[in-house]
Amino acid sequence: MIEAKSLCKRYGSFTAVNNLSFTVEAGQVLGFLGPNGAGKSTTMKMLTGFLRPTSGTALVNGIDVAEDSVAARMHIGYLPEGAPSYGEMTVRQFLAFIARARLIGSREVAGSVDKAIDKLNLSAVSQQPIETLSKGFKRRVGLAQAIIHDPQILILDEPTDGLDPNQKHEVRHLIQDMAHDKIIIISTHILEEVEAVCNRVMIIADGKLLADDTPHGLIAHSRYHRSVSMVVEGAERVASVLSELPEVAKAELRDGELTLFPAAESGLFEAITNAITDNQWEVSALRLEAGRLDEVFRSITRVEAAS
Amino acid sequence: MRGAINIMRRELTGYFATPVAYVFLVIFLVMTGIFTFYLGSFYERGIADLDPFFRFHPWLYLFLVPAISMRLWAEERHSGTIELLFTLPLTSVDAVLGKFLAAWLFIGLALLLTIPLWITVNYLGSPDNGVILAGYLGSWLMAGGFLAIGSCMSALTRNQVVAFILGVVVCFLFLLSGLPMVMNLFKGWAPQLVLDGIAGLSFFKHFADISKGVIDLRDLIYFALVVGFWLFANVLVLEIKKAE
């Protein structure tokens, strides 16, 4: 379990992380979401014992990270931002170094290195110096070193940055596979990633916690939540007809797509489908919106910036 | 300690995975050769000893040791691996010791590669091998002193060139402190205790003592203190500045 209690980090007069408190339990995949410079990385650096908080405490499985940093680090696997590694070493040498540093017994080092190489599909490049590898491979080497000791807590700073869509998919799979009995914290500014792997989201901006919810919960805040979008012949006429319905609060026409916002919790979709059949409109696309995370993200972080 | 040994192993693999090690070894050997045979008049003196070899070591180390030490921490900072290193379950002391030991062993290897010179004097005459052995020991200890200074300077910056220059300057001050031109500045007005203190700081004096063949406990303690002090400072600098 991770407990952050009023974590603060200040650099001179600049406050990078401002009074952040939260608890993460096993089985949770927590996504830190926020604009660049929001304090996501700084928070991760404090959880992993790299930075000392200016005030507040971070507990990792009950161990105060600032008090007994080395003991706390044993429970954690960490991928720092940019996946740094020692470029002159081969993948295998590097992973063996990390395994030994992670206090894996010398007999088990080779086995755990093999396992990590296997999990991240690195066998083709295992004897190559890391600096000769592509960005995607380097990122996977960084992930391999984070999971080599099978840690209970994984903290990954932008794990899929620089990967192609296939590699992103693989990494997300890997995270989901490990998720059930671990604590995983990832930071990202890719919204689809949050929807794909996280079961909890914290939106952070200017070092402050602005929202803490499930991805579904967040999406429900979207003004598009339960709205209906359609592409139809004679959209303007259709819009004026549909605006009259009691279920429709508002109609918006943008780029040839008509979006209708609900007046009540339910009934909008049925009312619209009935109107379509009654009027025999030619509809080429029709969908019920779950909500748009990017829109929620923007409204939450922008309100904050404006205030 | 296990952590320190693991770091040391990694550093040594690092040296030999890049041209750094080979370039350094070749330059070290060529330079010692030039100093010994040309500047030191090895043959012309007609004495079978290695004094012309050891005499120039302080000057050789002044530039070559900071060249080794400049990357120790500056590179970790520059490439971001310092964050990886300090989120592994090991202490700053482990990391500082491991890196220092690796570099020190590496310089020890460079010294070992000069053994043909030792064989040569034994072939040409009958030198006092005890004195030569003491010379090697003194030279290696002095290299440790230079290295500890250089390592601490490297921790101050993410730029290797800055680390190199800082290393050379501070090492130079330590070297100079025993020379007459520095001592003359203080003579006449400073009390004797201060004069002794300044003279006692110099690498020259302690290295000269050991390489005469007299291994005095005081000289050993001196080098141990110099290394200990600068490595301790190194740990402090890292603790304070590691995230910058």
pLDDT in tens, A118-132: 998 899 999 999 999
Q: What is the pLDDT of residue A239?
A: 87
With tokens 């040409």, the residue in question is: B124
Q: Which range is most confident: A214-223, A255-264, A295-304, B222-231? A: B222-231
Lowest-confidence range among A186-195, A272-281, B145-154, B181-190?
Answer: B181-190
Question: Does residue A261 sit at the B interface (CB-CB below 8 Å)?
Answer: no
Q: Encoding tokens for residue B244?
A: 């910058």
> Whole-angstrom Cα distance, residue B61 to residue B155?
19
pLDDT in tens, A157-194: 999 887 888 888 888 988 988 888 899 999 988 888 88
Whether B81 and A84 lie within 8 Å, measured CB to CB: yes
Question: Does residue A152 sit at the B interface (CB-CB below 8 Å)?
Answer: no
Q: What is the pLDDT of residue A12?
A: 86
pTM as predicted: 0.88
pLDDT in tens, B32-67: 988 888 887 777 777 777 888 888 899 999 999 999
Q: Which residue has the higher pLDDT, B149 or A244?
A: B149
Q: What is the pLDDT of residue A59?
A: 95
Please state the rounded mean pLDDT for residues B172-190: 79
Q: How many residues does chain A have?
A: 307
Q: What is the pLDDT of residue A265?
A: 76
Q: How far is A60 from chain B (nearest CA, A)?
A: 13
Question: Average pLDDT, whole number, for chain A?
Answer: 89
- Which class for B82: exposed (0-12), middle (13-18), buried (19 or more C-beta within 10 A)? buried
By CA distance, what is A69's nearest residue in B?
B89
Question: Average pLDDT, whole number, for chain B?
Answer: 89
Please state the rounded mean pLDDT for residues B120-132: 88
Q: Looking at the predicted structure, is the pLDDT value of residue A8 above 70?
A: yes
pLDDT in tens, A225-252: 888 999 988 888 888 888 888 888 888 8
> Whole-angstrom Cα distance, residue A162 to residue A142?
12
Question: Does residue A126 sit at the B interface (CB-CB below 8 Å)?
Answer: no
With tokens 């996280």, the residue in question is: A198
CA dihedral angle for residue A93, residue A98, residue A103, residue A104, rounded to 10 degrees: -60
Whether A101 and B88 lie within 8 Å, measured CB to CB: yes
What is the Cα gyration radius of chain B?
A: 19
* Pick among B88, B92, B99 to test the A interface (most A CBs inside 10 A): B88
> Whole-angstrom Cα distance, residue B69 to residue B157?
12
Put residue A256 in one of left, alpha, beta given phi > 0 → left and psi -120 to 50 → alpha.
left
Chain B positions touching A84 (Cβ under 8 A) are 79-81, 83-84
Please state the rounded mean pLDDT for residues A45-49: 93
Q: Are strands A257-262 and A228-232 parallel, antiparallel or unpaired?
A: antiparallel
Among A48, A78, A100, whose Cβ lies nearest the Cβ of B6?
Answer: A100
> Whole-angstrom Cα distance, residue A94 to residue B87?
15
Q: What is the pLDDT of residue A238?
A: 87
Cα-Cα end-to-end distance for chain B: 27
CB pairs under 8 A, 24+ apart, for A121-125? A121/A170, A122/A91, A125/A91
| pLDDT confidence bin for A304, thresholds 50/70/90 | low
Q: Evaluate the CA torsion angle B174, B175, B179, B182 in order and state its sign.
A: negative
Please state the rounded mean pLDDT for residues B165-192: 83
Q: What is the pLDDT of residue B95?
A: 95
| pLDDT confidence bin for B103, thresholds 50/70/90 | very high
> Whole-angstrom Cα distance, residue B58 to residue B146?
9
| pLDDT confidence bin for A73, thresholds 50/70/90 | very high
CB B107 within 8 A of CB B27: no
| pLDDT confidence bin for B244, thresholds 50/70/90 | low
Please state the rounded mean pLDDT for residues B68-80: 93
| pLDDT confidence bin for A38, thresholds 50/70/90 | confident
With tokens 């109609």, the residue in question is: A251
Q: Looking at the predicted structure, is the pLDDT value of residue A51 above 70?
A: yes
> Whole-angstrom Cα distance, residue A161 to residue A81?
9
Q: How far is A38 from chain B (nearest CA, A)?
A: 17
Q: Count Cβ atoms below 10 Å from residue B43 Cβ, excluding itself.
A: 10
Whether A84 and B83 lie within 8 Å, measured CB to CB: yes
Chain B positions touching A9 (Cβ under 8 A) are none
pLDDT in tens, A76-115: 999 999 999 999 999 999 999 999 999 888 889 999 999 9
The CA–CA distances, whole Å, from B11 to A110, A223, B103, B145 equal 20, 56, 8, 19
The alpha carbon of A194 is separated from its chain's Cα centroid by a whole number of angstroms, namely: 4
pLDDT in tens, B185-241: 777 787 887 777 777 778 888 888 888 888 888 889 999 999 999 999 999 999 888
Residue in B183, B21, B187, B7 with CA at minimum distance from that of residue B106: B21
Q: What is the pLDDT of residue B5?
A: 94
- Host H or E run for residue B140: helix B129-155
Beta bridge partners of A76: A153
Please tell me whether residue B243 adopts helix, strand or coil conformation: coil
Residue in B93, B66, B86, B89 with CA at minimum distance from that of residue B243: B86
* Pick among B6, B87, B241 to test the A interface (most A CBs inside 10 A): B87
Q: What is the pLDDT of residue A236?
A: 86
Whether B89 and A102 lie within 8 Å, measured CB to CB: yes
DSSP per-residue letters across chain A: -EEEEEEEEEETTEEEEEEEEEEE-TT-EEEEE--TTSSHHHHHHHHTTSS--SEEEEEETTEETTTSHHHHHTTEEEE-TT----TTSBHHHHHHHHHHHTT--TTTHHHHHHHHHHHTT-GGGTTSBGGGS-HHHHHHHHHHHHHTT--SEEEEESTTTT--HHHHHHHHHHHHHHGGGSEEEEEES-HHHHHHH-SEEEEEETTEEEEEE-HHHHHTTSTTTT-EEEEETTHHHHHHHHHTSTTEEEEEEETTEEEEEESSSS-HHHHHHHHHHHHT--EEEEEE----HHHHHHHHHHHHHH-
CA dihedral angle for residue A136, residue A137, residue A138, residue A143, rounded to 10 degrees: 90
> Whole-angstrom Cα distance, residue A164 to residue A137?
11
Percent of chain A with pLDDT over 90: 48
Q: What is the pLDDT of residue B36?
A: 86
Q: What is the pLDDT of residue B184?
A: 77
- The CA-CA-CA angle for residues A54, B232, B213, to 5°, reads 175
| pLDDT confidence bin for B243, thresholds 50/70/90 | low
Residue in B156, B172, B154, B174 with CA at minimum distance from that of residue B164: B154
